[in-house]
């Protein structure tokens, strides 16, 4: 899995943000905006830090040999991302499952992998597939399933202005794609609430 690492010049990005604010008709010397170019640059660095993160490195040595082959589900992994079309946020929940094949992963690694891909300019469809494929590659399980439900501010704040509309995407690999019963069990587990 190749990693694109964007170039961040600590001085250049705030200058670009200042120029953008000026193009919008703002006075970057006014009190409320004086530090905004730096703050926006820091925010963008944080929101796109996922480009430099490798899923295998995230998992590291948290892969444990275990004679367990039943489904593992991590539900309601909250995430935030930026839509690559408008650079506006989208956010929601990821439901992630895998069927171990002799190895289980430390549970905190699943949300970390979700965040690694969410902290890039994204499409929800690509985000869903990237999470599933990374887990499938790193864990080598019998199957992986990912369902993401998200709200997109590019759809709520502009364009069609449809407030609270949710987009749902899924990616099923291995047994989740090939076995209807496994897929149904997963979908039932993510629907069930205590």
Q: Is 130 a catalytic residue?
A: no
Active-site entry in 119, 124, 130, 171: 124
| Whether residue 171 lies in the annotated active site | no
Judge whether 119 counts as a catalytic residue: no
Query: Choosing from 49, 86, 149, 185, which is the catalytic residue?
Result: 86
Q: Which of 12, 22, 66, 84 is catalytic?
A: 84
What is the strand order of the sheet 143-152 is part of? 121-122, 72-83, 89-99, 143-152, 166-174
Catalytic residue chosen out of the listed positions 12, 42, 66, 85: 85
15 Cα distance to chain centroid: 28
Residue of 83, 119, 122, 130 marked active site: 83
Catalytic entry in 26, 49, 140, 154: 154
- 95, 122, 152, 171: which is the annotated catalytic residue? 152
Judging by beta carbons within 10 Å of its beta carbon (0-12, 13-18, 19+), is residue 2 exposed, middle or buried? exposed
Q: Which residues of 8-30 are buried (b: 16+ CB within 10 A; e: fewer)?
A: eeeeebbeebbeebeeeeeeeee
* Residues annotated as catalytic (active site), given as ranges: 83-86, 124, 152, 154
């Amino acid at each position: 899995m190749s990693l694109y690492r964007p170039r961040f010049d600590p001085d250049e990005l705030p200058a670009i943000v200042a120029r953008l604010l000026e193009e919008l008709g703002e006075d970057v010397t006014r009190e409320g905006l004086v530090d905004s170019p730096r703050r926006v640059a820091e925010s963008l660095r944080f929101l796109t830090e996922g480009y430099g993160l490798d899923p295998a490195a995230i998992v590291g040595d948290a892969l444990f040999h275990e004679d367990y082959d039943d489904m593992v589900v991590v539900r309601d992994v909250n995430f935030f991302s930026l839509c690559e079309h408008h650079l506006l946020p989208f956010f929601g929940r990821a439901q992630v499952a895998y069927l171990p094949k002799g190895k289980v992963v430390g549970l905190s690694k699943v949300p970390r992998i979700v965040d690694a891909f969410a902290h890039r300019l994204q499409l929800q469809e690509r985000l869903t597939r990237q999470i599933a494929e990374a887990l499938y590659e790193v864990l080598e399980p019998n199957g992986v399933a990912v369902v993401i439900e998200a709200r997109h501010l590019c759809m709520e704040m502009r364009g069609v202005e449809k407030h609270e509309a949710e987009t749902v995407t899924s990616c099923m690999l291995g047994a989740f794609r090939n076995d209807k019963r496994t897929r149904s069990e997963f979908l039932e587990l993510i629907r069930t609430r205590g």
